Structures are given as structure tokens and as C-alpha cells.
Amino acid sequence: MFWQSVIGGLKCLTFWQTYVAGLLYLTIVLLPMAALGKFMERSSKAEAGGCLGVLLMPLFQMFGTYVFVLTLAPIILGVADRPNAIWVFPWQLAVTSPLIALKILGVMVLIVLCLAFIPILSGIASLYTLALGGTVMIFVVLLAYRFAPYLHATDISFMPSFFFIVGILLVSGASFLLATISVTLVSLALKREEIGQIVAIPLGSVFGFVPVFIYGSWLGLQIKSLPGFQ
């Protein structure tokens, strides 16, 4: 099932919605930081702003991940014939089911705090993204069970084996490396370094979620194998 999950996860990169969601993620993460930097610069508190930025950046990344993964959940799971992004889902969930949204964000905050005390693990970007994005995917599957109990989604395993996780991280690292090399070669061929920089930022944000794509594909394959799934 590992390679099936990898293929299904990498298929997420073929959807245009994935890259638009990547730009949305960057906006959520970078725009508040830029605004904070400008405000602190004008108030002559650059050092305080730097410290505050270090504290707030993981929270903005966390919220960006929440929006990104919930938006692309149908595509990541791959259980529909023609999956599409649900752009209103993250915001609709926050309005119609605020307790569930708060639970998701609360668990993500705990993960951020726990990883902050384990520098070795927090330094592995793919693992950090997998932990946060995987948490959102677990809640998505549990929501599916809530509205479609006939699926018996509680029979799904949410924790893959150790070697499965290692495999996800290795494939994610390889795919990110290939993307970086491709962008570099294109920019060199065109002799336009600025093009490479413009493309690399959104592309890097999307390829950073490859671990979540593979994990979500693994969950989707399990859903497809459930007796109640049609």
C-alpha cells in the first residue's frame, strides 16, 4: 500500500487547485509577518518585533496548514471520481462547528509546543508538516464518520508503521529536491534568475506538503476498502 499511497499523494501535484491553495497558504503565513515587520519598523521596536515574529510564525504556519489541508481534503483523500477543492470548508467549519475547529487548532498548538521542546524533530521540516497536516486529515476522516456512520471509518488505522513514516519522509525529500533542481535548470536555461525565485516560493510551499498528500492518500485507500464505501 506504500507505493499506492505515494502515487496517490503525488497526483495531488497535478491539480491546479493545489497551487492556488499554496499561494493562499503563503498569504496567510507571510502577510501578517510582513505587516508586523512594517509596524515594528515604524515604531522603532525592530528587536521586539523580531522576537514576536519568531513566536508567531509557527502559529501562522499552523493556521495556514489548517486552511490548506481542509481546502484540499477531497483531492488529498482521492475518494471521489472528480475531486475538487472546497474553498469555503475551513471557514464554514469555523462558523457552523466552532468547537470542532477549536479542537483541531488546539491539537495543532499542542503539537507545535511539543515539537518546540524536541529540536531534533522540529528541525525536520517534512515531519513537522506531516504532524500538523496529518492531524487535520484525521479530523476530516472523523468528520466523515460523523456524517456517514455507515462507512465504519473508526475501523481505519491512523498511525502508519515507523518504516512507512520514514518512507514518506524520504520520498518527500526526494520530490522536493527534484523540484528545486527543475526550477534551477529552467531559470538557468532562460537566463532569468528572477523567474526561478518567483516560481520557487509557491512551488516550495506546495512540495512541502507532499508528506501530507501521501498520508492522506493512505487514509483514502483505507476508506475505499471499507464495506460501506461505494
The torsion angles phi and psi of 171, rounded to 5 degrees, stand at -65, -40
Cα 125 from chain centre: 11
pLDDT for the residue 120? 72
pLDDT for the residue 115? 80
Radius of gyration of the chain (CA): 19
Residue pair 152/227 in contact by the 8 Å Cβ criterion: yes
Confidence bin at 64 (pLDDT 50/70/90):
very high
Question: Closest by alpha carbon to 167, among 6, 16, 56?
Answer: 6
pLDDT for the residue 229? 63
The pLDDT tens digits for 121-177 are 666 777 888 999 999 999 999 887 776 666 666 678 899 999 999 999 898 888 878
- pLDDT at residue 196 tops 70: no
Residue pair 160/230 in contact by the 8 Å Cβ criterion: no
pLDDT for the residue 127? 83
Question: Closest by alpha carbon to 74, among 66, 82, 65?
Answer: 82
Question: Closest by alpha carbon to 109, among 64, 154, 59, 147?
Answer: 59
In sequence order, which residues have a C-beta less than 8 Å from that of residue 213 and are 6 or more positions away?
Answer: 8, 9, 10, 12, 13, 76
pLDDT for the residue 35? 72
- pLDDT at residue 192 tops 60: no
- pLDDT at residue 183 tops 90: no
Average pLDDT over residues 13-22: 91
- pLDDT at residue 198 tops 60: no
Confidence bin at 207 (pLDDT 50/70/90):
confident
Residue pair 137/73 in contact by the 8 Å Cβ criterion: yes
Residue listed under C-alpha cell 485507500? 221
HSE of 57, CA atoms in CB hemisphere, 13 A:
10
Residue pair 106/63 in contact by the 8 Å Cβ criterion: no
